[in-house]
Amino acid sequence: MEPRKKIGLALSGGAVLGAAHVGVLKALAEHNIKIDFISGTSIGALVGSLFAFGKNCDEVHDITSNLAWKDISSISFSSYGLFTNNKMKDFLKKHIDDVTFDKSDIPFAVIATDITNGDKVVLNEGNVANAVLASTCIPGVFKPINHQERLLVDGGIVENLPISPLIEMGADIIIAVDLNGKHGKKVPENVVDVLVNSFHFTLASASQIQYGEIDVLITPDLTSFSYISTKQTNELIQAGYDEAIKVLKEHPSLSEKNDS
């Protein structure tokens, strides 16, 4: 009998749209699809960390459904950003403890960007909370994070669909969730909207270049949702779930592979 093929899950960035990732996790669980490796960029790193460290899809749903900006960020007096996301460290410690990557239930990696030289930085060792802080640090919005002797910001700049870590970890099949693939333009309402929209529209076209490396691509249509409003979480979760269910129906062999 052939050994079961290993499945990797890549969760993209997308600010508050990341709640859609939770719906995808629910759909994967319902289809009995076992994830062997997980990688995340930006909000995908946050959701992915919860899943990789033992939270099931229902627990991730409960944790994220009431998540607000005040829970993960605060005003910064730095010249490098309007806010700091340091409060996210307390959030992660509360839910997965102060853990290191080697303690994960599912091998896990996140992507950040060295803002000094533009290098892609794959983080899969050391403190998880610090790595997630770095990966979610939208430039201009959040103050950069000093981590592992580098000044790091959001990994979406270099790889918003974090596929390369999955390949390095040995994934045979890659499932990727692109939150920006079908997100249309909306008129910004404030300076944060301008910064976040500009950042993620730039990432959208770059991610499409990677589509050829993906076996199963899930791109929920999130046009009607804002990148920054936290009042739409449950609707985003449902949108991610609905799109994942539709896509997974086209790949019935995935669950069969996991049962073999």
Would you call 154 a catalytic residue per the annotation? Answer: yes
Please calculate the CA angle 70-93-104 and round it to the nearest 5 degrees: 130
The one catalytic residue in 42, 49, 207, 226 is 42
CA distance 81 to 153: 11
With the CA atoms of 221, 223, 226 and 231 taken in that order, what torsion angle do they form, in degrees rounded to the nearest 10? -60
CA distance 128 to 124: 8
The one catalytic residue in 12, 36, 39, 154 is 154
Would you call 105 a catalytic residue per the annotation? Answer: no
User: Directed axis angle between helix 19-30 and helix 233-248, to 10°?
Assistant: 40
Contact present, 237 and 244 (Cβ < 8 Å)? no
Q: Write out the DSSP string of 116-139.
A: TT--EEEE-SSBHHHHHHHHT--B
- Going along 119-210, which residue ranges are E strands? 120-123, 140-142, 145-147, 150-154, 173-177
Catalytic residues: 42, 154
